[in-house]
Chains A and B, each alone.
Chain A
């Protein structure tokens, strides 16, 4: 019997891993291209989740779009309508922040820590903003309870999990195509590899950086909304608490390597879930961190990364 329980934990871990992956792939691109730890990444997730809540419950609800329980899922199609708007707003905000704050710091040649501290300020301000507008209490998307799916081997999962995994898969594949097939994607990888060399080749690194923000913030927005769906709740600190798994995945995969971040996220997600079989589930956040420490000690450049 124990092995069956394990399988369900593995499936849950993969779903959690997909959410972490969405955040971590953007975070690692930002880290690679801008050379600093974007501490506000989690709060971008939070604010996007709340934006969707706002769009669903105010404008969409006012024009009569109030459906819940689309197909097997708990949420209705208004969530799907709202999601692209949240992604766009998050991406736009990130670009504005870069033009207003990070670009100035970059042009002055500020060190990685000054940039990280500035993003910390942004993180705190964003959380303040969320709490001012929506308050500190737990909120939910309008939802309808649904039966769990029964998969073979006695694995039970909420239908929403399939939706989350599906979205994560589609987004990841799109990102892969973007990075390998398009000009801007290739420029992005080149810039992450070596900024000076990219510039010499004629790549406008400032444009690349703006696109990195668009993609990073957009992915974070999707991750935030999916997290709110999966946990069936919104809290102002939901994204902040996600930072440790996010950074664990980024470092596991090697900084600047989105593919590494994807697998790193899966490792973090699955091992944190599976470990609850033996240890107190409330230690879950510590598990991601323990994996991180072990990897840092054994392979300081991550499991997949070779870049310095």
Chain B
């Protein structure tokens, strides 16, 4: 019986991470799935979201601890009664993370959004690496390689720490659900149809009088904001962020694998892919013997990506076809 409970506890912790990854995958779907923006610098927005939220909410550094960083927002105690007993700081932190990513994405996109897709890819990869280097080298900003820890839990006082994951899973799923509905509505709106038109044929979209660069920039900013929310959710789950967290493999390419497996251009596919890939990633550690070696997992994820490209290039779900109501 106790064993069963342990498994459920583990499953809940796993689902929290999968749900957070699903948020990133939704953001990537806005970039790649709907607009065709080849962003391989998700890690950059991941980092900015996570660090923004962490810096805003952790207490100011204690000088006795040889901390380097200067700014500690300590939002939970500063808000005090204004928290209204529902830890309002969390909402502010998520919004701030989204805003920070939005601003950075606007600045990057303003300069580079006109570039061809593979140029944009290299650019985003470089920006993500630069952002990581800044957090690593500028100790005053976010404690350098030591990172930020003791990031507060949302509604942490409400339940016993042992069961906290259950509560946080609900929070993550609520945020994910909200974003899913928002993105789906946006994509089915005229705005979303323009994005898809740009993805399919930029020239035609331009010829139809659409300001292609502006729409791409908007999509880039919206996707980045979603990734910022994902970063913040991550920071308050693991409660520790350091530059190591944001290496390209775990913070960018796993998310790409998730979107490709689930089905690019399909929000349900994006979420499904996150749970499947994270399931494989986490599940393989229970394999017998040498198969549980994390390096074997790396190999398997690589082979999985190649396999999906070869045999199921549209992903498991693929894009939903939409017809006009009048024509069907």
Contact = CB atoms under 8 A, between A and B. Distances in A.
Nearest to A130: B295
Contacts of A136: 295
A121 B309 contact: yes
Interface in B204-249: 248-249
Contacts of B130: 285-286, 289-290
B310 interface: yes
Contact of B298 (A113, A124, A280): A124
B115 interface: yes
A283 interface: yes
Given A121-B305, A124-B298, A124-B302, A285 B129 contact: yes
Contacts of A128: 295-302
B309 A105 contact: yes
Contact of A125 (B136, B249, B299): B299
Contacts, number: 126
B253 interface: yes
Nearest to A40: B302
Contact of A296 (B38, B115, B296, B313): B115
Interface stretch (B54-62, B94-102, B117-125): B117-125
Nearest to B115: A296
B111 A117 contact: no
B282 interface: no
A123 B112 contact: no
Contact of A129 (B116, B117, B299): B299
B295 A244 contact: no
A208 B248 CA distance: 33
B293 interface: yes
Nearest to B131: A286
B89 interface: no
Interface residues of B toward A: which range? 35 or more
Given A124-B298, A128-B299, A251-B119, A113 B310 contact: no
Interface in B1-57: 32, 38
Interface string B298-328: 1111111111011001000000000000000
Contact of B296 (A104, A132, A244, A292): A132
B297 A117 contact: no
B119 A244 contact: no
B260 interface: yes
Given A118-B310, A128-B296, A286 B126 contact: yes
B292 interface: no
Contacts of B293: 132
B295 A105 contact: no
A164 to B, nearest CB: 25
The listed residue with most A CB atoms (<10 A of its CB), out of B111, B296, B301, B310, is B310
Nearest to A244: B126
Contacts of A99: none
Contact of A124 (B122, B123, B253): B253
A120 B253 contact: yes
Nearest to B257: A121
A292 B121 CA distance: 12
Given A117-B256, A124-B253, A293-B111, 6 more contacts: A114-B309, A121-B304, A124-B302, A128-B298, A251-B119, A286-B130
Going nearest first, the 5 A-B pairs with the smallest beta carbon separation are A125-B302, A121-B305, A128-B298, A128-B299, A289-B126
Interface of B: 32, 38, 111-112, 115-119, 121-123, 125-127, 129-130, 133, 136-137, 248-249, 253, 256-257, 260, 293, 295-307, 309-310, 313
Interface of A: 36-37, 101, 104-105, 108, 110, 112-118, 120-129, 131-132, 136, 240, 243-244, 247-248, 251, 280, 282-283, 285-286, 288-290, 292-293, 296-297, 300
5 contacts: A105-B310, A117-B260, A128-B302, A129-B299, A248-B126
